[in-house]
Every structure is written in structure tokens, then in C-alpha cells.
Structure 1
Amino acid sequence: MSRLRVGLLANPTAAQGTAHRVGRQVGHLLHLAGISVVDLSGPSAHVARARAEEVRDSLTALVVVGGDGTVSLGAEIVAGTPVRLGIVPAGSGNDFARSLGLSINDPEESTRALLHALSRPVVTIDAIEVTSAGENALPHRSLALGNVNLGFDAIVNARANSSRASYTVRYTTAVLRELPTFTPLPYWLEIDGGERFEIDAPLLSLCSSGVYGGGMQMVPNARIDDGQLELLSVEGRGRRDLLRFFPRVFKGTHTELEGVRIRPVREVAVGLRHGRSLRAYADGEARSLLPLTARVLPGAVRLLADLSALRGERAVDGGAQ
């Protein structure tokens, strides 16, 4: 294998320092395999981003080590460039890595997967662009790879992020804490440039991978490489229905329930009526306040992974870059 240059960006705080340790091990193993590795980790996401963007044009791949938020950061850095995004899951949730079938907190297996992918054709996946749309909001754009949470799941995510328990436990606990006082939210939506309409819904999620909340299969048939997103809504259901709903999402059988609707979309503008306020979450991280616009960016990210065993892959020209 020719000497390739890989940037390594580990989140020093993910999973209470586990990502930093795993990152050092992966970097050492890549170096032993003949890969030139440049450490781009920093004390903050801002510093790490600046370091990565400074050398991005010289990289074959950017390998991120951490959870879903770190993966989103990596996607923002490499989207629209020839640089491939490698993922070493070592965070709390790791939901996007689960959707890819990647091993968690396993430096040796992660390194083997990265080296294998470097010899495989390039695979492209979609990204979700999230842009603030409020009249008085400062322009802000971010990217996500997995999902954008716009309802009860966003409120739960905010509570779960403040807990130190394991991710699945704190997400489930947050669901139980929020349910007693939760009521459906009054949304307005515009889908793919169509006319505005209104719904009252407790749950609204825009999905590419369809997996979040520590392994919830929110949209079981979602694909990360089909050029579209899936808008899941739960309409006409109350908090008692949500109690029956959430235990089923880990197996994906909730889609059979009355009131659950999944629409294929490319772009969605969404806001709340009556002056209500809600902050969206995407890939586990806080994003813009509603209203916002989210749209799919087909094939925006070149992924350093072999998806052929998991689902049909979409290859583009070239092998190892």
C-alpha cells in the first residue's frame, strides 16, 4: 500500500476520555501499517476544526474518534471534498456507527476496517443540511449524517445530555421524566417547496440513518445513500400512546401503529405556531431553534467504510485515493 496521509481527530471528552485513549491506539496501529498519521485533536471542537481545515487538502482521509457529535463535525469538515471520512465509534451513543454495523470501542477491529476500506472503491453517503430560518435568527448552517430531532425526541435529547448515566439508560430515563407533562406540539411544515400545512404531533423526526437514542430503530428502512430523507411523524396520539410507542422502537415495530406516518422528502421547512419555542437536535447535539430548513445533500460525504455487506453500496470512480 502506498504511503497515505490520514488526519486523526479524537474527541478528548467523549465517553469520559475513552475516545482519547482509543484514538491514540488507532493512530499507533495505522502508523505500524505504513500510514502517515497527523493528529488533529484539540481541546475544543473549534480548535480541532481549524487544525483539520488547515491541512485538509493534503489528506487522503479524516478519521474521527468519538460519538455522533464528533462524526457530524468530521462530516462538516470533509463534505464536498475528495477527503474520505473514517469513523471510530468511541462515544456515548454511537448511533450512526451502529447504523453502519461498526464495532464499538475496539481499536484493533476499527483499524482493520479502516485499512480494508482504503483499498475499496469510494462510497458516498448523504448529509443533512440544517439552516436556521427565523426572521430574526442569525444565519447558521450545520450538517448531520443521522437524524434531526424536531419534537419530543429533541426535548428528551436535551435532558439526556445533562445526565452522566450510560446513554441508553439516560435516554430512557429522560423519556419517562418528560412524558407526564408533555403535550403534542403545533407545527407548520412546508415539504419540498409545497404549500404550508399544519399538524399537531408529539413526535417529528427527519431521518437519514433512522437510528438514534441508543439503538432505537425509528425508521427501520431508512438508507443513508438514496438521495432522500424520511420524515416521521406521530399524529393524533397522546402521552399514553407514546408509552406504548417507545418500547417498540428498538425493534422497529412501532411503524405498524395507527398515527405513525413516514414521508420521503428532500427538503423540509418547519416551525411552531403560537409563539412556541423549541431547539432542534441533530446527531445528539443542539442545533438551531425552530423555525429551520433541512435538506438532503445527496452523496455529499465520501465514507471510509465498506458498506457492501450491510446494504447496496454506491461506488464512485477510483479506489484508494
Structure 2
Amino acid sequence: MIGFVVNRLSGNGRGGRIWQQVEQALKARGVNYGCRFTERQGHARELAAQWAEHRDMVAVVAVGGDGTVHEAANGLAGTAVPLGLVPAGSGNDFARSLGIPSRWEAALERVLALRSEAIDVGEINGELFVISAGIGFDGDVAKWTNRSWYKRWLNRLGIGNLSYAVTVLRLLVSYRPCDVELEIDGTLVTGRNVWLLAVANMPYYGGGMIICPDARQDDGILHLCLVENIGRLDFLRFFPRVFRGTHVKLPTVRMLAGSRISVRATMPMTIHADGEYGGETPAAIGIRPRRLLVL
């Protein structure tokens, strides 16, 4: 049996609409499946973990966005049950990184092929992430984007991935950078006037930004992007380069990598894990190689 975890609210209701079409296709093909709908934050994690305990479960499939993937992955990591995805969110960075088709028909075909591979997962303060974690400015951006009215409005227009960029412009004036001390695999690294630290398991985040172009989900390490000592106008001027991955050439950007990372800052910095709020620094970050099976 294939268990589906459906977030009907993803993409401003897109998840529910896509599920109706997916279910019709499953019935027409005689697929043995079950479905459970998320009802609250964190529910997808519970449902995925419950599905994984079924003796005849061959896969658990999320119908939703990166937030649903994040929760489902936390429920499945370390089990023998693979995670599949039918994308229905606004950013869909997990799907973009793994080459999962955006059209539900093609995504479902990939699921039904039942070919799995093992990928790494990151961990930050005990919370697993599959795409990326962010500290500082991008943590605040993720936090306020998820609470914004315009994310829902942009989702209705089919351009929900722009909501991250809108929040960047809103927070640019008020954000206060601070000094940071990192320890990466035993080596001390200091950053001055740090705006953000992105920790990536996959190259994309924030709805298509190529934050760490070299990040791979199966290389056993995490890739870091540290942005420091940059003025607000330059931050705004150079921001579009992250959509092409050319920001890595800027003198105010340092690209690092490691498997064990600790972060301390001179003031609390907001953390996100796969776009979901994850508290504040200090942070202990690590990687669990090939911890999650994916379709």
C-alpha cells in the first residue's frame, strides 16, 4: 500500500485540488492506497510516522509543499519506508533539487515507479531538515513570510515563490546584523556584521534561489553560505544574483562546508529548518548521511 499525506491548504488550496485529481488517477489504475489529511502544524510528521508502521506500506507520499515535506521527512527518517512527493506548494525547492516534475501527472508516475534512493538529512538543534536551514536574516524572512497575507495572495496568482523576495524587501530596512563565531569540524571561523548563514543539503531554497550551488543531497557534507560586512543598498543590489548562483563570487560572501557545525552569535539570531521556524541561536548542526529514502 502507498500512504498519502495530503496538505489541502498548501499553495492556497492547491494541495486539495491536486489530490482530487491524483485520487481519481489512483482509483482508475487500481492502486492500493490510503489517504490522511493534515489538520495542524506538525501533523504531517505524525501521519507519516504512523503510515511507516504499517506492515504492507511501500511508500509514504506527501501532497503539499516544502513544509509538508519537512514534516513527513522527520516522520520517516531512519525507517525503511521511502518518501515520495506530488508538489503542491509555493516554493517546491525539494522537488526542484531532486528533479521531481511540477505537474502532478508526471510526479505521480515517478511515485508509482517505486524506485528509491538514500539521501542525507541535516540536523539543527535536534530538528531534521532535508533542504536547508538558515540563521539570521533568512531565518527572519522565512518566519515572517509564513505569517504574511501576501504569500496567500501570491499563491492565488500562481507566483507564490515571489513571497520570499517581498519579505526580503520589507525586512531590509530594519534588520540588524551581528558578529558570529562558527566551529566547523573543529576549525574556528569568525564572521563580522553577519547578515545570514545558510546551511544547505540541497542547492535551492526560498522558492528557487541557488543559495549553495555545490550542495548535494548525497555527498555527506553540508554547504554553508555566509554573508557578512555588506551595506543595505549593496545587499539589495546583489540580491538578484542568488537566483543565478553568482552571488558566491562576491567578496562579502564566504562559501564553507563541513559535517559538524556550531554557531554562536553576539545576539539571538532566528533559525529556520526547511522554511519552518526553528527557534534562535546558539545552534548545533550536523549531518546524517543517507538517512532518508526518497522516490
The answer on 1:215 being equivalent to 2:202 is no
| 1:45–1:231 distance in 2 versus 1, CA, 3 Å | same
In the alignment, what sits opposite 1:98? 96
Counterpart code for 2:111: L
**Do 1:40 and 1:52's aligned partners in 2 also have CA atoms closer than 8 Å?**
no
CA distance in structure 1 between the aligned counterparts of 2:236 and 2:264, rounded to whole angstroms: 25
Alignment of 1:4-19 (within 5 A): 5-19=1-15
Quote how far apart the aligned CAs of 1:254 are: 1.0
Does the 8 Å CA contact 2:93/2:206 hold for their aligned counterparts?
Answer: yes
SS in 2 for 1:180: coil
Determine the C-alpha separation between the residues in 2 that align with 1:56 and 1:289.
Answer: 31
- 2:185 is the alignment partner of 1:192: yes
Q: Secondary structure at the match of 1:227?
A: coil
Matched, 1:109 2:106: yes
Q: 1:45, CA displacement in angstroms?
A: 4.0
Q: Name the CA shift for 1:201/1:92 in 2 (closer, same or farther; >3 Å).
A: same
1:168 maps onto 2:161 in alignment = yes
Q: Is the 8 A contact 2:46 2:75 kept in 1?
A: no
- Counterpart-to-counterpart distance in 2, 1:27 and 1:228: 38
Unpaired stretches in structure 1, ≥5 consecutive residues: 132-140, 305-321
Measured in 1, the distance between the counterparts of 2:264 and 2:205 equals 22
Q: Deviations over 1:60-104 (max 9, x none)?
A: 111001111100111111101110000111012111211122232
After superposition, the Cα gap between the structure-2 partners of 1:155 and 1:110, relative to the gap in structure 1 and judged at 3 Å, is same
Stretches of structure 2 lacking an aligned partner (at least 5 in a row):
155-159
**Counterpart AA for 1:125:** I
Letter in 1 for 2:58: T
Aligned pair count reads 285
Structure-to-structure mapping, 1:1-321, within 5 angstroms: 5-58=1-54, 59-104=57-102, 106-116=103-113, 118=114, 120=115, 122-131=116-125, 141-163=126-148, 164=150, 165-166=153-154, 167-195=160-188, 197=190, 199-273=192-266, 276-304=267-295
Quote the Cα distance in structure 2 between the aligned partners of 1:250 and 1:51.
34
8 A contact 2:192–2:229 mirrored in 1 = no
**d(CA) in 2 for partners of 1:255, 1:196:** 18
Q: 2 CA distance for matches of 1:41 and 1:94?
A: 19
After superposition, the Cα gap between the structure-2 partners of 1:248 and 1:142, relative to the gap in structure 1 and judged at 3 Å, is same
- 1:224 partner SS: coil
Q: Which residue of 2 aligns with 1:317?
A: none
> SS of the counterpart of 1:247?
helix
Instruction: Give the 4+ runs in structure 1 shifted more than 6 A.
Output: none
- Distance in 1 (alpha carbons) for counterparts of 2:34 and 2:78: 21
Output one character per residue of 1:198-248: Cα deviation in whole Å (capped at 9) or x when no partner: 543112110111211221111112111111110110222222221222111
Query: Do 2:264 and 2:282's aligned partners in 1 also have CA atoms closer than 8 Å?
Result: yes
Q: Is the 8 A contact 1:103 1:109 kept in 2?
A: yes
Percentage of pairs with the same residue: 38
d(CA) in 2 for partners of 1:235, 1:96: 27
Cα gap change, 1:52/1:220 in structure 2, threshold over 3 Å: closer, same or farther?
closer
CA distance in 2 between partners of 1:257 and 1:109 (Å):
38
Alignment CA distance shift 1:197-1:47 (3 Å): closer
**Separation of aligned partners in 2, 1:194 and 1:256:** 23
Q: Check 1:55–1:111 CA distance in 2 against 1; reply closer, same or farther (3 A cut).
A: closer
- Secondary structure, aligned partner of 2:112: helix
RMSD, aligned α-carbons: 1.9
How many Å apart are 1:34 and its aligned residue? 3.5
